[in-house]
Amino acid sequence: MQISDNVMLLGNGHFNHYIVGRTQAVLLECGMSAGIPAFVRQWANLNPQPQLTHILVLHSHFDHVCGLPIFRKMFPQALVLGHAAAEKLLVKEKVRQLMQMGDQMVSQVYFDDHRISEKPAPLDMDLLTIDKAVREGDIINLDSNLKLQIIETPGHSSCSISVYLPQEEVMFVSDAAGTAISEEMIAPVFFQDYDLYLDSIRKLMNYPTRVLALGHGQIIRGYDQVQNFYQRSLQSAQDAFAAIKNELLAGISTEELTRKFYDQYMKGGLADYPVAVMLASVGQLVSNVAKRL
Ligand SMILES: [Zn+2]
Ligand SMILES: [Zn+2]
């Protein structure tokens, strides 16, 4: 689906992939094996196909990088860019094992309920690498005068970057501005740090944005709608912080609280993820509040 003159959204509705550029192009977001068949079908139908010169990794969570080994095979000429913290993390053997496991578990869920017809092969983890680190203020120049601007937006993870396309006022945020579970609910995903997360959303609000291109689910269109999404996401994080704080002060165990928040927020596409992984992530929310009490 074309979302602006030079931006196309591909993917299965949960794992979003963006192609920026009509001749020379950048792929943003790598998703997971379970989402690749949808991408491959859509890519094959593009006529003409742009020439993909860069792949941008917006953060290193398993649901945003497991597709990278497959994309490296599809687009061997593309230079892979990401935050230095992601570059460091992805070469760790233990991390790679967990990624492989998580990727296969999600594929199994998709296979079992017939969302994919074949179980994907195990990933070639030697291809899970970033070629070059990018940081705040870096610009990626494409032909047709297109520029992509790198903005560091930590708080969801230390390696979270957002990417701004000023010509068309499109902002790609991955999970840095919250995960939309439904039209009404935005999950507060301050897994790294609460204050950094709020600061990042406030920073993003300063960029005139006509289209907010999220890592998962539907995109947000319209200046007011984008600002409204950011406001609701801030509110969701503040509400979650207050709720966790009150429960902890009332003496609830962290395990019980983690479970409660898991049930509240791990819905939609997130419910397909391994429970243990997401319980650990929600546990981060709880401990990020606990350390501030
Ligand atoms: Zn994430
Ligand atoms: Zn995600």
Taking the CA of 156 as reference, the closest ligand is: 1
Residue 75 lies in a domain: yes
For helices 254-265 and 275-290, the axis angle rounded to 10 degrees is 120
Q: What is the per-residue DSSP string for 146-207?
A: -EEEEEE-TTS-TT-EEEEETTTTEEEEETTT-EE-SSS-EE---SS-HHHHHHHHHHHTTS
Cα of 273 from ligand 2 centre, angstroms: 10
Residue 291 lies in a domain: no
Residue 242 lies in a domain: no
Cα of 144 from ligand 2 centre, angstroms: 31
The helix/strand/coil state of 24 is strand
pLDDT of 183 higher than 90: no
The number of domains in the chain is 1
- Mean pLDDT within 125-144: 96
Residue 173 lies in a domain: yes
Residue 268 lies in a domain: no
- Give the C-alpha separation, 79 to 59, whole Å: 16
Taking the CA of 63 as reference, the closest ligand is: 2
The overall average pLDDT reported for the chain is: 96
List, for residues 33-78, the tens digit of each pLDDT value.
999 999 999 999 999 999 999 999 999 999 999 999 999 999 999 9
pLDDT of 237 higher than 90: yes
pLDDT of 144 higher than 90: no
Q: Domain of 112: which CATH number?
A: 3.60.15.10
pLDDT of 151 higher than 90: yes
Cα of 250 from ligand 2 centre, angstroms: 31
pLDDT of 263 higher than 90: yes
- Mean pLDDT within 270-282: 93
Q: Which residue has the tokens 């291809």?
A: 127
Residue 285 lies in a domain: no
pLDDT of 112 higher than 90: yes
pLDDT at 104: 97
Angle at 255 between CA 254 and CA 261, to 5 degrees: 85
According to DSSP, the β-strands at 211-214 and 220-221 are antiparallel
List, for residues 6-15, the tens digit of each pLDDT value.
999 999 999 9
Residue 251 lies in a domain: no
Neighbours of 88 (CB within 10 A): 15
Residue 181 lies in a domain: yes
Taking the CA of 86 as reference, the closest ligand is: 1
Q: Give residue 129's domain range.
A: 2-235
- Mean pLDDT within 255-269: 92
Taking the CA of 273 as reference, the closest ligand is: 2
